[in-house]
Chains A and B, each alone.
Chain A
Amino acid sequence: MLRRTPYFKPGASAHAVRYFLFALAALAISHYGSAQDTPLISGGVGFFTSTNAGSTTYLPITEPLLAAPLGQHILVESRAALLETFAPNGDNQPGYNHTHFIGLTYLQADYIAARHFTVVGGYFLIPFNTYNERLTPIWISNFQDGPLILPLGLFSSGSGLGGMLRGNAIQRNKYSIDYSYFYSTRSAKEQFTAERGNGGSANLYLPEQRLELGLSYDRLLQGTHENFYGAHAWWEPKDTGFRLRSEFARGHHAQGYWIEADYRLKAFGGADSVVGRLEPLFRIQQTFRRDTIASDGLPPVNTQRADFGLDYNLPHNTRILTSYARQFSATGDHNVWETGIVYRFLFPAWKGKQQ
């Protein structure tokens, strides 16, 4: 199962294109303070395959990102996804069926109000734990699919419509603390699907140890009000290619965790050597049901999964992602094989002013 875009609903819409063009128009009418503030277009283009229990799915995808500063204090940013999914017909029918999707992931304006205080308005990624905000872009995450617990705390769509306060609360040489608080209203508009809720997070970062610890909480304020709790720990030792990331999340009906370790083999000839471009990965994850109501997107029964991956970082911002996973549950064990290639692009929206 592809879980890279867990909050996307199937079905394309021209609305997304309109909103994206609106964002582009906002760039065009803006005035820029310096020659370094040209709006940028970034994102990733990828092609993924996933063989889950013998069924192979193909997924070409593009995720463009726009960012444009307006004056000295405002940044407008947006990310979208355009994808086509090719999946085998069910019921032992030959051939493939395909669906396409165009959708906004977020479209927000950030107002840097003070040194430690930024106001975010619009359609934003919900800041619950780390994966949703940091690791969902296809050019960033190590594995093609997200963790099993990803839906917890993300209010179905992964995005909220409303406002958020965030920033760096304390900055010292030995530690820093950042925070976020958001409120989202309910929205059924196709490109701005959101649920009513609020929540926040706080993270402690120790730069000498390269250790980050964080807590998250949010509460769904529609239907059955549910609380979600999250915690994460990231450790990335200085001057190594090693990273250890982990998350725990607890919802009303289920809970779980994942731990991911990756090691870029740059100790063997440098990061740009043939061996140094290799990146072995390992992720272990478990989910536990607290009751039999499986409405939260997690597996309907307790599940364990181990992912083994090997990524290769090609020159020119291109990555090859490969992985094998074995998933264990009472409903049956199965293998998941995944391969993919992603190219990341980053360039000015137009030629900037000369310095």
Chain B
Amino acid sequence: MRSRQFLFGALLLASVSALAVAAQQSDTPATAPASKSAAQKQAGQPQTDGERVFKQNCLRCHAEPEGFSSSISGTIARHMRVRASLSQREEEQLLQFLNP
């Protein structure tokens, strides 16, 4: 009985995965810079290295916070360097993205 229930669960999980992959085909690229100033300045521009670092590392665990003071962007970048094991170059790119 339980093996059936978990087979059902596994099928459901596979269905969700398939849905996501299907959605990937139609989804528009997300623009999720962390600060409003970054969003305004980079709107319509191709993805920067900093945005790539942000999406690949910060968004891996948590959603982007809605706006924050530029005075803490360096602190956030350093915090992410330690937490996400970023390289020095990535920290600099992330800082450039957070506070261009």
B76 touching A40, Cβ below 8 Å: yes
B69 touching A352, Cβ below 8 Å: yes
Chain B, residues 70-96, CB within 8 Å of chain A (1/0): the string is 111111111101110111111000010
- The CA-CA distance from A207 to B74 in the complex, in Å, is 24
A240 touching B62, Cβ below 8 Å: no
B79 touching A77, Cβ below 8 Å: yes
Chain A, residues 61-105, CB within 8 Å of chain B (1/0): the string is 000000111000001010000000000000000000000000000
Task: Return B30 CB to nearest CB of chain A, in Å.
Answer: 6
Q: Which of the segments A3-11, A52-60, A113-121 contacts the partner chain?
A: A113-121
Which positions 192-238 of chain A face chain B at CB distance < 8 Å? Answer: 203, 205, 207, 210, 212, 234, 236-238
Which positions 118-164 of chain A face chain B at CB distance < 8 Å? Answer: 118, 120, 133-135, 137, 139-140
Point out the residues of chain A lying under 8 angstroms from B83, CB to CB: 133-134
Interface check A259, CB cutoff 8 A: yes
B6 touching A306, Cβ below 8 Å: yes
Chain B, residues 28-72, CB within 8 Å of chain A (1/0): the string is 111010000000000000000000100110011111011011111
The interface on chain B, measured as residues whose beta carbon lies within 8 A of the other chain's beta carbons, has a size of: 53
Point out the residues of chain A lying under 8 angstroms from B27, CB to CB: 239-241, 266-267
A313 touching B63, Cβ below 8 Å: yes
- The CA-CA distance from A166 to B30 in the complex, in Å, is 31
A263 touching B16, Cβ below 8 Å: yes
- The CA-CA distance from A280 to B15 in the complex, in Å, is 13
Interface check A328, CB cutoff 8 A: yes
- The CA-CA distance from A133 to B12 in the complex, in Å, is 28
Interface of B is mostly: helix
A68 touching B13, Cβ below 8 Å: no
B29 touching A346, Cβ below 8 Å: no
Point out the residues of chain A lying under 8 angstroms from B23, CB to CB: 240-242, 263, 267
Closest to A264 in B: B63
A69 touching B62, Cβ below 8 Å: no
Interface check A317, CB cutoff 8 A: yes
Interface size grouping (class) on chain A: 35 or more
- The CA-CA distance from A347 to B68 in the complex, in Å, is 6
Contact flag A242-B24 (CB < 8 Å), given A120-B82, A317-B66: yes
Interface check A316, CB cutoff 8 A: yes
| Other-chain residue from B5, B65, B95 in contact with A344 (beta carbon distance below 8 A) | B65
B13 touching A284, Cβ below 8 Å: yes
Point out the residues of chain A lying under 8 angstroms from B28, CB to CB: 239, 270
A69 touching B85, Cβ below 8 Å: no
Point out the residues of chain B lying under 8 angstroms from A317, CB to CB: 65-66
Interface check A297, CB cutoff 8 A: no
Task: Return A166 CB to nearest CB of chain B, in Å.
Answer: 6
List 11 additional A-B contacts (Cβ < 8 Å) besides A36-B71, A36-B99, A137-B62. A36-B72, A75-B75, A75-B78, A110-B82, A118-B81, A166-B82, A241-B30, A284-B6, A284-B13, A346-B72, A348-B69
16 contacts between A and B (CB under 8 A): A36-B72, A38-B71, A39-B75, A118-B81, A134-B61, A166-B85, A168-B87, A171-B89, A205-B56, A207-B56, A238-B55, A240-B20, A241-B30, A242-B16, A261-B17, A306-B9
Ordered nearest first, which 10 A-B pairs have the shortest CB separation? A352-B71, A242-B20, A36-B74, A178-B85, A40-B72, A37-B74, A38-B71, A267-B23, A240-B24, A140-B62
